[in-house]
Amino acid sequence: QAYSARRRSRLLRVTTHPLVDLAVPCLHRRLMESMFDECLKECRHLAGEASEQLKQLQEASEVDRKGLSAAVVNLLRQADDNLQTLQQEARSAPASQRQKLAQEEKTLRDELRAISKELEQVRRDLLLGKDEGGKTDKLFIGKDERGRMTNVTDSLSKGNARLKEANKMALEAETVGVEALQELRRQREVMCRVKDNTADLGANLQSSDATLKSLEAPTCVTM
């Protein structure tokens, strides 16, 4: 127990040492740089593979073109996912590193965008169609533009949700209106039947009254 207490005391002194406080931000910065470099390396590797597949696409037979076009798009999408991670890490990096990381992200984004444009040109040359294998027009955009697109998408989603709700309410109102018209028609038919029955009853009463009067009248006998 005495040994454990001494060990805890030494650990406490070490973890509260000023050098440790200075080392934590340094370690965090190095960790961020390492993660960024690893993601950057992976993204460049994907860009290289996409370039190689694009070269094969230019020389491929007509049968293989569609599959190779889709493969290039798939690699570019993976690269775009990594690019978004780079943008997030650059944005959350320490201020001293932020500009450097953002510039590296922009350089890589320009390289990937150039590959995407080359793919579009090859598609046109090979008459594959603009969207053969998948679209690339929304890939490799800056974080500000991506944020605006996200806001626009959210606004459209909210607008669609409100439109669906309005259509639902209109359908419910239409249903209620139809049911109300059907109920009014039913009540009108009931009233018409009551009116007809009342008229028949009046006619029957008049006939009965006439019959009673004829019975009550004195009978004249001629001798």
Q: What is the DSSP string of 29-64?
A: HHHHHHHHHHHHHHHHHHHHHHHHHHHHHHHS-HHH
Q: Where are the domains of the chain?
A: 26-128, 170-211
The pLDDT of 3-30, averaged and rounded, is: 49
Helix (H) or strand (E) holding 16: none
Q: What is the pLDDT of residue 149?
A: 55
What percent helix, strand, coil does the chain show, rounded to 5? 85, 0, 15
Model pTM? Answer: 0.53
**CA 161, CA 156: separation in Å to the nearest integer?**
8
Q: What is the pLDDT of residue 15?
A: 44
Classify the phi-psi angles of 113: left when phi > 0, otherwise alpha if psi is within -120 to 50, otherwise beta.
alpha
**CA 103, CA 6: separation in Å to the nearest integer?**
50
Give the number of other Cβ atoms within 10 Å of residue 20's Cβ: 12
**CA 107, CA 54: separation in Å to the nearest integer?**
20
**CA 81, CA 140: separation in Å to the nearest integer?**
9
How many Cα atoms within 13 Å fall on the side-chain side of residue 140?
A: 24
- What tens digit of pLDDT does each residue of 79-131 get? 999 999 888 888 888 888 888 888 999 999 999 999 999 999 999 988 887 76
**CA 102, CA 94: separation in Å to the nearest integer?**
12
| Max intra-chain CA distance, the chain | 154
CB 74 within 8 A of CB 10: no
- What tens digit of pLDDT does each residue of 57-89 get? 999 998 999 999 999 999 999 999 999 988 888
Q: What is the pLDDT of residue 32?
A: 66
**CA 153, CA 43: separation in Å to the nearest integer?**
26
Q: Which CATH class is domain 26-128?
A: mainly alpha
**CA 116, CA 186: separation in Å to the nearest integer?**
68
